[in-house]
Amino acid sequence: MTNQMTPTMDEQARAILRGNDRGGYTVPTSGLYPYQWNWDSAFAAWGFATFDVARAWVEIETLLSGQWDNGMVPHILFHRPDPGYFPGPDVWGGVGPVPSSGISQPPVAASFARRVYDMDPDASREALVRIFPKLKAWHQWFMDWRLDQGAVCITHPWEAGRDNTPDWDGAMAGIDPVGVGDYTRRDTSHVDPAMRPTKYDYDRYIWLVQLGRRLNWGDAALLKQNPFRVADPTMTFTLLRAQRDLAALGRALGEDVGSIDAAIQELEAGAETLWNPDLACYDARDVRSGKWAGCVSNASFLNWYAGIDHPGMVAQYDRITSICKYPVPSHDPSSDRFDPKRYWRGPTWGIMNALIGLGLEECGHTDRAEALRQTTGELIRDHGFAEYFDPLTGRAAGGGTFTWTAAVWLGWTSPSRPKGAS
């Protein structure tokens, strides 16, 4: 029997989703992130689907309402102005139907749409018919503008969602943020600055936004003029997986999926260009300099999620999980660039664990998948629905009452998750 005074973890997670619901979309957490973020919303849809399938579809449809004419789906939709976040819509100057940023984010929406659809196909079919062409156009935009030898590139560190990971250190060092001007950060008034990116990082983030805006976010111009272009495992593996899921959804609708199947082949070949033989791991590749990042990150381990069971990655995974109590760290703890509290330079993220765990399970590494599910569930139960966690101590870090951590609980780690959620 449930004690009314102490809500269960499931109840707490649902209350977080409802509390962060702004009517048609959820914010990642109030205060620190007051808008709709792209991949956060896809995770939110997963969480909602465990108790309200219709609301899950609304989340995805609101996200896609911001799609640009070129097919791009922005990383932030600024539905309502909020002075608590920088940079806002006036800095970005997005050119879509809803005020937005000018870059995208890891395309996990099609994959969660498939999960939601599978949980209740009858209730989902109409929404799926509406969103299928939009997801297809978004994926095609990546294929048209973001490939390097078949691997997917980012044009801004924020695009991969792993903002300050050491993966971009080399490419960031190539930017001289001249003329960036004065600005006031808002993130460090919400969260301990030791857990956030540095001023060095922010100067370059803003400089890149100003460049994109000057070029009116034109894809061809950015391809030529943006010094930051990195082939990234997050994007490559999530798009590969998303294309596989979109093809399955297309078949369920009786659509022609020939072009999606061709894209899958191209991305499979592209993923192999991210194999760094010296590191014996999937790695980020700076397209401008041709240099490897030399980083074992949590995105390296998304290969299974993409359906690629590379034998070398099991050895890497076992090494990394043996050197920290709460894997998977966003950067290798044995590296001198590892920082257990600073955002994407060390901390463990529930969403990445969920993607890694789903992939491990699908590729038959069931013991590893189950162990990761257990430690992630333990982290959330013992330390709360935090944005991220110290991989050595488990301590909560960043923002609290976080939408995607609540969603990961409901969809993946909760012992009572509905059948089909994971």
CB of 77 to ligand 2M8, least distance (A): 12
Nearer Cβ to ligand 2M8 (81/420) = 81
39 part of the interface to ligand 2M8, by CB under 6 A: yes
Instruction: Give yes or no: 159 in active site.
Output: no
Among 10, 40, 203, 390, binds ligand 2M8 (CB under 6 A): 40
Pair of tokens at residue 157:
């560190």
Taking CB under 6 A as the binding criterion, the range among 32-40, 92-100, 242-250, 259-267 that sits at the site for ligand 2M8 is 32-40
Check binding of 59 to ligand 2M8 (CB under 6 A).
no
Any contact of residue 28 with ligand 2M8 (CB under 6 A)?
A: yes
Q: Which of residues 330-349 bind ligand 2M8 (CB under 6 A)?
A: none
The angle at the Cα of 178, spanning 174 to 184, to the nearest 5 degrees, equals: 110
Query: What angle is formed at CA 25 by the lines to CA 19 and CA 26, rounded to 5 degrees?
Result: 40
Please select the residue that binds ligand 2M8; options are 10, 59, 163, 232, rule is CB under 6 A: 163
SS3 assignment, position 326: coil
Query: In whole angstroms, what is the distance from residue 111 CA to residue 116 CA?
Result: 9
CB 379 within 8 A of CB 365: no
Q: Smallest gap, in angstroms, from Cβ of residue 188 to ligand 2M8?
A: 11
If you count them, how many residues does the chain have?
422
Q: Does the protein bind ligand 2M8 through residue 158 (CB under 6 A)?
A: yes
- 33 forms part of the interface with ligand 2M8 (CB under 6 A): yes
Distance (Å, rounded) from C-alpha 400 to C-alpha 303? 29
User: Which residue do the tokens 């950067």 mark?
Assistant: 331
245 annotated active-site: no
Q: Which DSSP symbol is given to 356? A: H
> How many residues touch ligand 2M8 (CB under 6 A)?
10
In angstroms, the CA 182 to CA 186 distance is 13
DSSP 8-class letter at 102: S
Q: Which is nearer to ligand 2M8, 37 or 117 (CB)?
A: 37
Tokens 């048609």 belong to residue: 24
Which listed range, 124-132, 156-164, 249-257, 374-382, lies at the site for ligand 2M8 (CB under 6 A)?
Answer: 156-164
- Give me the DSSP letters along 95-109: -SSS-B-SS-----H
Determine which residue in the list 161, 250, 270, 357 makes contact with ligand 2M8, applying CB under 6 A. 161
The active-site residue out of 163, 167, 245, 286 is 163
CB of 401 to ligand 2M8, least distance (A): 12
* Pairing, β 230-231 against β 275-276: unpaired
Distance CA 93, CA 71 (A): 17
Residue 138 in the binding site for ligand 2M8 (CB under 6 A) = no
Rounded Cα distance, 5 and 7, in Å: 6
Contact with ligand 2M8 (CB under 6 A): which of 17, 20, 34, 37? 37
Active site residues: 163, 387
Contacts with ligand 2M8, residue ranges (CB under 6 A): 28, 33, 37, 39-40, 75, 158, 161, 163, 187
